[in-house]
Amino acid sequence: MATETLIPLESNPEVMNKFLQKLGVPNKWSIVDVMGLEPEMLSWVPRPVLAVMLLFPVSDAYEEHKQKEESDILAKGQEISNDIFYMKQNISNACGTIALVHSVANNTDNIELSDGLMKKFLEEAKGSDAAARGKLLEKSEGIINAHKELAQEGQTNTPSAEEPVNHHFIAFVHKNGTLYELDGRKAFPVNHGPTTPDSLLEDSAKICKEFMARDPNEVRFTVVALAASD
């Protein structure tokens, strides 16, 4: 059976927040736009910040870097916390949903999930590896249907599921003193070095700038954060 292709979720805080609330995330936490990556702009983002998400164009420069990064990590090794929740992306255009799941799943000590789709999914995913979690998401009709419903609500013209999409969503989270990049299309989480809950936004912004520097002629980057609601 062919893996399903979804219409992508738009990088729109209003849509993403409706999606999170459908999954059982209380409205004391919400997605907010990060208007810029300089200190003054970052100071406008409500605190605490639990996760940062980057939407970026998938270019040749990105693919080249991705392959080199994977080779380097395989050669040198990296430390990954056993506590990190990571899953593979099997469903086309589901990267927005997976970035949101990564953001919430790694912050369940802060987010009191109500009984519902996300809580059920995380309980079922306990003890599974990244590949099994990806397969579990394919079978999670409630989450997939919430994605489909909210993907239609974006402000721009809704593309069809068949239209090629060259943008990709990833998440950055703090876990046990380390900054992790979580991308369901990569072979594993990427350890980006030390961070703290207080410096997560600033440290993630540095990595986002690296993505932008690799594609200096591109302007289609969007950064949002999962943060305390105002």
Q: Which residues are catalytic?
A: 95, 168
Report yes or no: 61 and 69 within 8 Å, Cβ to Cβ: no
Which tokens in the block code for residue 94?
């589901």
Cα–Cα nearest to 173, from 79, 78, 51, 88: 51
Query: How do strand 49-57 and strand 29-33 relate by DSSP bridges?
Result: unpaired
Cross-strand bridge partners of residue 32:
225
Query: How long, in residues, is the chain?
Result: 230
* CA pair distance 150, 99, nearest whole angstrom: 15
